[in-house]
Amino acid sequence: MAMAVIEVGAALLGACVGSFLNVVIWRLPQEDPRRRSLGGRSHCPNCGAKIRWHDNLPVLGWLLLRGRARCCQQPFSIRYPLVELLTAALFLALAIWPPYGPAFVPLADGSYVVHTEAAVAMLLHAIFLSLLIANSFIDLDHQLLLDVLTKPGMVIGLLAGFWPGLAGPISTAPESPLALRTLLGSVIGLLAGGGVTWAIRIVGTKVFRKEAMGFGDVKFMGMIGAFLGWQAALLTMFLGCVFGALIGGVGVLFGGAAKIPFGPFLALGALVAMFAAQPILNFLFVTWPEWQRSSPSAQWFLPVLALLSLFALFVLVRRGRR
């Protein structure tokens, strides 16, 4: 019962955070500095009237108003409740499958004790998820990944590497303090994520004689690496290329928009890496090599898949920037 309350509380908190993320997604890209401020009451995007607090309740407010503004009866985008539901679902998943370990440890008498490091890790992972969502939807709307989100994200990721150590230790050497080894893990993750993306950006630009990837993607991947470490950062890039090529290719084949922002696919890859990096890496570097030894031709599958996905993604991105 106690865990059920915690999980429901996490989902409700996620819905409230999602409501705030809608404000971030709408305001931060605005050109007018006064409209970029995250403070103050929410206003109707159609007529500018102030939105009543009870109309601003996550998901429920949109449903009660039937998706229309009370002030002018103009429709609100369905994206608002979707962002709130998405954030609620991810916070719920974080409570059920915490990557760092459970924050609430059951005792023999049925009570629970708080594991401080795991609780801090859960909070930091919640911040990371919020940054992924905000960056993804801003990139979808404006093809921008804003420094005001990615740069603080890098700093928070490095601090999370120092304590409680989200990226994990870079070595098992006992002579150096664990906090320094985990901080080094975050630093190398930041450099690996940003550096690999920078290299891909340069190669893609030379091949297509046009910018194939924005510098915002480099900083976004640096942020991801700072939170998750270098192995998960490389896995994120691999998965982002695969997801981008598959989803973007299907969208173009069915007449979808040609503009393919890379940020949402990187965020999707980071999401998978955050929750399932270890089993995926175990498959890639333990199960897969064993299969390769029994079937030599299999060794080319992953490199070819990665290169084809990257090439297809470059073609889609370049097509969208014509």
Digit-coded pLDDT (tens) for 55-81: 888 999 999 888 888 888 888 889 999
Residue with tokens 């705030």: 20
CB burial class (10 A; 0-12, 13-18, 19+) of residue 108? exposed
Residue 259 has pLDDT above 80, yes or no: no
Of how many residues is the chain composed?
322
Alpha-carbon distance 245 to 105, whole Å?
41
* 233 or 3, which is more confident: 233
Calculate the alpha carbon distances from 224 to 186, 191, 199 in Å. 9, 10, 16
Sign of CA pseudo-dihedral 236, 17, 114, 184? positive
CB within 8 A of 154, min separation 6: which ones? 190, 219, 222, 223, 226
Tokens of 12: 């409700």
Residue with tokens 């601090």: 159
Q: What is the pLDDT of residue 252?
A: 67
At residue 321 the predicted structure's pLDDT band, cuts being 50, 70 and 90, is: low
Calculate the alpha carbon distances from 179 to 117, 159, 161, 162, 168 in Å. 12, 10, 8, 5, 9
Residue 278 in contact with residue 231, Cβ under 8 Å? no
Helix (H, G, I), strand (E, B) or coil at 167: coil
- What are 269-307's pLDDT values in tens digits? 999 999 999 999 898 888 877 877 777 666 677 677 777
Alpha-carbon distance 67 to 49, whole Å?
16
Alpha carbons within 13 A on the beta-carbon side of 237? 29
- What are 174-228's pLDDT values in tens digits? 778 999 999 999 999 999 999 999 998 898 888 777 776 789 999 999 999 999 9
DSSP structure string for 113-154: EE-HHHHHHHHHHHHHHHHHHHHHHHHHHHS---HHHHHHHH
At residue 253 the predicted structure's pLDDT band, cuts being 50, 70 and 90, is: low
Q: Note the pTM of the prediction, 2 decimals.
A: 0.89
Q: What is the pLDDT of residue 106?
A: 82
Sign of CA pseudo-dihedral 206, 208, 209, 212? negative
Average pLDDT (140-152) is 95
